[in-house]
Amino acid sequence: DSGVTQTPKHLITATGQRVTLRCSPRSGDLSVYWYQQSLDQGLQFLIQYYNGEERAKGNILERFSAQQFPDLHSELNLSSLELGDSALYFCASSATGTANAGELFFGEGSRLTVL
Amino acid sequence: AQSVAQPEDQVNVAEGNPLTVKCTYSVSGNPYLFWYVQYPNRGLQFLLKYITGDNLVKGSYGFEAEFNKSQTSFHLKKPSALVSDSALYFCAVRDHPGGGNKLTFGTGTQLKVEL
């Protein structure tokens, strides 16, 4: 158990709809990362938050948005869903400090299916 | 931009034999390199990292990786494979400076260990 909790584990929805994925990081971790894993694109970095502020942005579509709340949990909002958005969405968190630099702890993912 | 390449989609090895999963990198400056493993229906788990120091890095579950600057490689190795090592393995590089702990992952190599 990584200590990172993601909900829901599975989600099935229709094109055009909007969903919210939730992530609770490990206790004490200030950084949260969102990744998308699909068969054709592999593991793609979407966005990172650090203590409530956006820290880095990757290949995140304009239809997607994220935020990190004061209690450090994060939400990824996906709107106007398309079939191609079907994927496994991972949240990861990391401890601060150079000793642990780059060691991410991943949740088990939220599998999104868009029909 | 930092990147890593995993040239093999799949590696097959017999149990008890040594295994190698290949990774090459392209970075500006000194590389921060990582290996992660993903078991079916699970999130990624950290195996090991190279930041600086000894070129041979030891990690979890008996895995090790050899950093080779002249060949820009960071191959994952294990002296004696187990069936339970069968999983998807990802090489990753950390963006720096200024990239926080964001990791860019390779496309993954499926390791299959057979009896």
Q: pLDDT (tens digit, 9 = 90+) per residue, A30-83?
A: 999 999 999 888 899 999 999 999 988 998 999 999 999 999 999 999 999 999
CB-closest option in B44, B101, B107 to A101 = B101
Query: Which one of B27, B44, B104 makes the best mutation probe of the A interface by having the most chain A beta carbons within 10 Å?
Result: B44
pLDDT at residue A17, rounded to an integer: 98
Q: Using CA atoms of B97, B101, B107, B112 in order, give the dihedral in degrees to the nearest 10.
A: 130
pLDDT, residue B81, reads 97
B1: pLDDT strictly greater than 80:
no
Query: CA A108 → CA A45, A101, B61, B83, distances in Å?
Result: 16, 21, 20, 22
Q: A-chain residues within 8 Å CB-CB of B105?
A: 35, 42-43, 45
Q: How confident is the model at residue B2 (pLDDT cuts 50, 70, 90)?
A: confident
> Tens digits of per-residue pLDDT, A81-102?
999 999 999 999 998 755 567 7
Tens-digit pLDDT profile for residues B48-77:
999 888 899 999 999 999 999 999 999 999
Q: Whose CA is closest to B102, among B34, B56, B5, B28?
A: B34
Phi/psi at B61 (5° precision): 60, 25
Chain A residues with CB-CB distance to B49 below 8 A: 102-103
User: Out of B41, B101, B108, whose CB is closest to A104?
Assistant: B101
pLDDT at A24: 98
Residue type, B74: F
- Measured in residues, chain B has a length of 115
pLDDT of residue B28: 84
A2: pLDDT strictly greater than 90: no
